[in-house]
């Protein structure tokens, strides 16, 4: 049995274990150590001991002696409590090897903090997952195992997963010590196969290679699927920088790549929006334009007409020179229409025979309209923070944030994503 502790500085160390049968479980950590490190060793060994006893895989308690085989004292200083899961699995592996003749040796690395030393101990998150995985991939042989907190699974990059698959490394995300010990015990207690002929060994080797190829292909497919999901989520959040980025190796051969192509096609397929401002003065005479900009006075009525050329999610806000504003769409008090809007139809804000009426505060009014094939979750979150939900006279910070998020769509449009629209309508408020 061989266990490796992983450090956030990208290094690892072999964890040596010795067991002595005794009347009760005890834990000792050899060498210079810290209180945190000793606490993680005690929690790990006790949690694994109680887990194995509950599973009926252990008969005797042991005095456990741990030693981190590293000559660098700085390693102990950066370790903290993140080796708790490694201590637990190292104890479990050696205890199973001692009590079960059919036990198979395993090599693994592990990282994760433990909330307690009980039978139901949870595995907590750690820092530096990418660096720790790099250390594991450098230290572990083919077919080894890595156990890590499920809470940190999202931190692993696609490149790391592909590198692990290429080396045949089994990556196991766990939530509890019981889950980790169960997975490790299943591997350790798998009965050894009897002697094989040369033909049998060839068949076994071929099957192993096939399985590894399938696993690698599956991990690539999952990584590409995950990338599609992440890009779709990023687009909904208003982050378009990764659209059109590099594919993973072999991604073009995978069926999931169709989702990425569809997403990028939506971002590049032309979306046009025809806007027009309609106004009427308080006396019933249309307002005149000055220097190409409509001029409206307090009490004048106005409304906005818009027509997208294809289905889209649309958002419109009006912001004055003072930073106050109003959400024009979606706004149930102005129109019954809701996202997504259908292409080829004209929509009025407000709808029916209603008009908006200009207040008495002069300045420049800016109506910003954006549209895209997907919801704008970042804008919707900002809209939800407005005091009245749709309008606010003292929410300059929020409307400033809304303007910034809208400007991201403008940059995306100028950058070649023609499926994203940014339009402005300006008029002077006399």
In this prediction, residue 285 carries a pLDDT of 47
Query: Are residue 202 and residue 167 in the same domain, yes or no?
Result: no
Whether residue 167 is found in the same domain as residue 258: no
- Cα 419 to Cα 413: distance, rounded to the nearest angstrom: 8
Q: At 108, list the tokens.
A: 């693994």
Picking from 156, 188, 220, the residue at the C-terminal end of a domain is 188
- Can you tell me the mean pLDDT for 81-95? 92
Whether 250 and 382 share a structural domain: no
Over range 400-413, report the average pLDDT.
Answer: 91
The pLDDT, as a whole number, for residue 111 is 93
- Provide mean pLDDT across the span 180-193: 80
Question: Does the pLDDT value for residue 283 go beyond 80?
Answer: no
53: domain CATH number is: 3.30.230.10
Position 247 pLDDT exceeds 50: no
Mean pLDDT to the nearest integer, 88-95? 93
Residues 202 and 166 in one domain: no
The domain of 221 spans 198-268
pLDDT, tens only, 370-393: 999 999 999 999 998 887 767 666
Q: Which residue has the higher pLDDT, 250 or 60?
A: 60
pLDDT at 206: 66
Say how far apart CA 301 and CA 353 lie, in whole Å.
11
Tell whether 207 and 174 lie within a shared domain.
no
Banded model confidence at residue 227, pLDDT cuts 50, 70, 90:
low
Count of structural domains within the chain: 3
Mean of the pLDDT values across residues 409-413? 90
Same domain, yes or no: 311 and 202: no
Judge whether residue 222 has pLDDT over 70: no
Instruction: Report the pLDDT value the prediction gives residue 223, as an integer from 0 to 100.
Output: 60
**Dihedral sign computed on CA atoms, order 48, 54, 55, 56:** positive
- What's the average model confidence in pLDDT over 234-243? 78
Average pLDDT of the chain is: 83
Q: Phi, psi at residue 65, to the nearest 5°?
A: -115, 115
Do 419 and 281 belong together in one domain?
yes
What's the pLDDT at 75? 44
Q: Are strands 325-329 and 313-319 parallel, antiparallel or unpaired?
A: antiparallel
Task: Answer whether residue 249 shows pLDDT above 50.
Answer: no
Q: Are residues 223 and 328 part of one domain?
A: no
Tell me if 193 is assigned to some domain: no
Q: 317 in helix, strand or coil? A: strand
Mean pLDDT of 52-56: 91
Residue 214 has pLDDT above 70, yes or no: no
Q: Is residue 349 part of a domain?
A: yes
Let me know how many helices (H) and strands (E) the chain has, helices first.
10, 20
User: Is it the case that residue 14 has pLDDT exceeding 80?
Assistant: yes
- Whether 325 and 234 map to the same domain: the answer is no
């Amino acid at each position: 049995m061989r266990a490796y502790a992983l450090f956030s500085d990208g290094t690892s160390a072999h964890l040596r274990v010795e067991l002595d049968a005794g009347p009760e479980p005890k834990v000792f950590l050899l060498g210079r150590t810290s209180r945190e490190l000793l606490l993680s060793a005690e929690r790990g060994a006790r949690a694994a001991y109680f887990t194995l006893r509950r599973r009926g895989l252990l008969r005797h308690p042991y005095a456990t002696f741990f030693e981190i085989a590293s000559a660098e004292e700085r390693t102990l200083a950066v370790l903290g409590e993140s080796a708790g899961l490694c201590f637990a699995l190292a104890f479990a592996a050696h205890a199973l090897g001692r009590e079960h003749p059919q036990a198979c040796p395993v090599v693994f690395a592990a990282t994760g903090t433990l909330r307690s030393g009980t039978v139901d101990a949870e595995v907590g998150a750690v820092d530096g997952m990418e660096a720790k995985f790099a250390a594991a991939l450098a230290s572990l042989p083919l077919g080894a195992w890595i156990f890590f907190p499920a809470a940190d699974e999202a931190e692993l990059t696609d490149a790391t997963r592909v590198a692990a698959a290429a080396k045949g490394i089994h990556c196991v995300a766990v939530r509890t010590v019981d889950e980790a010990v169960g997975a490790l015990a299943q591997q350790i207690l798998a009965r050894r196969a009897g002697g094989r002929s040369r033909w049998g060994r060839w068949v076994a080797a071929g099957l192993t290679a096939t399985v590894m190829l399938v696993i690698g292909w599956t991990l690539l497919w999952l990584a590409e699927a995950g990338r599609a999901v992440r890009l779709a989520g990023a687009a909904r959040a208003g982050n378009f920088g990764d659209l059109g980025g590099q594919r993973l190796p072999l991604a073009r051969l995978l069926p999931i790549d169709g989702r990425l192509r569809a997403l990028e096609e939506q971002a590049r397929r032309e979306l046009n929006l025809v806007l027009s401002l309609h106004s009427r003065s308080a006396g019933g005479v249309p307002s005149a334009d000055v220097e190409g900009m409509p001029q409206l006075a307090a009490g004048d009525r106005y409304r906005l007409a818009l027509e997208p050329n294809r289905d889209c999610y649309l958002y419109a806000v009006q912001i004055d020179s003072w930073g106050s504003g109003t959400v024009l769409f979606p706004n149930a008090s102005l129109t019954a229409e809701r996202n997504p809007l259908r292409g080829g139809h004209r929509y009025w804000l407000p709808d029916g025979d209603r008009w908006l009426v200009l207040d008495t505060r002069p300045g420049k009014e800016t109506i910003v309209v954006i549209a895209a094939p997907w919801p704008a979750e970042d804008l919707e979150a900002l809209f939800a923070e407005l005091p009245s939900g749709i309008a606010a006279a003292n929410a300059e910070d929020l409307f400033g944030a809304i303007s910034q998020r809208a400007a991201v769509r403008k940059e995306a449009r100028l950058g070649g994503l023609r499926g994203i629209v940014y339009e402005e309508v300006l008029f002077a408020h006399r």
